[in-house]
Amino acid sequence: MTTVVVIGATGQLGADCLEAFATERVIGLSHEEIEIGDPASVRRALVPLAPEVVVNTAAFLDVPACERDPDRAYRLNAVAPRTIARLCAELGARLVHISTDYVFDGSKGTPYVESDRPGPLNTYAASKLAGEYEVLASDGRHQVVRSSGLYGVRPCRGKGGSFLDTILAQAARDPVVRVVNDEVLTPTWTCSLAGQLRTLALEGPGGLFHATDHGWCSWFEFTRELFALLGVRTQLEGVSARTLDSPVRRPAYSVLQNAALEALGMDRMRPWRESLAACLRRREGTVVPS
């Protein structure tokens, strides 16, 4: 039985990781139990647990806030992963660190593989990319896993809620729901990703991996599928990201291919529509056909 510590255990992905690793000796650490930006806190939290695997789902995820406070972005998304990675190496533990599709600029137009050159467009993406380098340089056993468009049953602590809850509340309140239709990615269910992380952490080699559900769509297409599955009749309207007047540049195309997982025969992800239907079946009180 492997001792696994999940950092960010009360978050959307972290909570699903606790379930995915349930057959191991899994220990969850909340923000109150570990402050990743404080090296002393990291040491106090991890050393007594003697972990063999540490899964770090914690980060500064608020993209606009990262632009306003780049020092904090780099402290939490780059320096903190370095601290955790070096301590894990000292303890003989593997770190599995979660990163993002945003490290790419979207100009490729076909799915990105692990060997493609990153080109971050904003502070959040640049800080996460720096964190990747720090983790991979700390120990050859460590793993960095990029994913995309995470959603789940539970709210995302770092973003203030769940996409599903937010969009369905808007549909219940407003006559028209407007969703961006010109940013293409792969929405990925956190439960699917957590299961993939378990397989990778316990059986895979060190290195850089992409792990998303299969296929791609815009958030508009994702919401249209969501409404169809639930029978929501609220009018849905696609809008360009350019009309939102956001100060943050985001990639218009950030689809990832799970190339490294495929090469190892370890790709456990499934089509995004299947994952969305399975996620809705897990939501309390939701009836979705199998």
- List pLDDT tens digits, range 34-78: 999 999 999 999 999 999 999 999 999 999 999 999 999 999 999
Question: What digits encode the pLDDT tens for the residues 123-145?
Answer: 999 999 999 999 999 999 999 99
Q: Average the pLDDT over 80-84 and give the result.
A: 98
pLDDT of residue 161: 63
Query: Could you give the dihedral angle defined by the CA atoms of residues 128, 84, 157 and 121, in that order, rounded to the nearest 10 degrees?
Result: 0
Q: How confident is the model at residue 289 (pLDDT cuts 50, 70, 90)?
A: very low
- 276 neighbors 219 (Cβ within 8 angstroms): no
**What's residue 290's pLDDT?**
42
Q: What is the pLDDT of residue 285?
A: 52
Quote the mean pLDDT of the chain.
93
Answer whether 102's CB lies under 8 Å from 251's CB: yes
Structure confidence by residue, pLDDT tens digits, 6-41 = 999 999 999 999 999 999 999 999 999 999 999 999
| 227-257 as b/e: b if 16+ CB within 10 A | bebbebebebeeeebeeeeeebbbbbbbbbb
The pLDDT value given to residue 239: 87
Short-list 262, 187, 216, CA closest to 110: 216
Q: How far is the C-alpha of 155 from the C-alpha of 186, rounded, in Å?
A: 19
- Contact present, 271 and 212 (Cβ < 8 Å): no
Name the pLDDT band for 107 (thresholds 50, 70, 90). Answer: very high
pLDDT-derived band at 155 (thresholds 50, 70, 90) equals low
Q: Quote the CA–CA distance of 141 and 163 in Å, as a whole number.
A: 33
pLDDT at 242: 78
Distances (CA, A) of 182 to 128, 220, 251: 23, 8, 10
Q: pLDDT tens across 160-185, in order? A: 567 888 899 899 998 999 998 889 99
Active site residue 124: yes
d(CA 213, CA 274): 9
The count of residues in the chain is 290
* Measured CA angle at 283 (ends 278, 288), to 5 deg: 50
Q: What is the per-residue pLDDT for 159?
A: 56
Contact 241, 252 (CB under 8 A): yes
Options 102, 112, 124, 253, the catalytic residue: 124
Cα–chain center distance at 234? 29
% of the chain residues with pLDDT over 70: 94
pLDDT of residue 158: 53
Quote the pLDDT of residue 35: 96
Q: What is the pLDDT of residue 160?
A: 55
Spatial contact of 112 and 65, defined as CB atoms under 8 Å apart: no
pLDDT at 288: 46
- Asked if 132 and 144 touch (Cβ cutoff 8 Å), the reply is yes
pLDDT at residue 151 greater than cutoff 70? yes
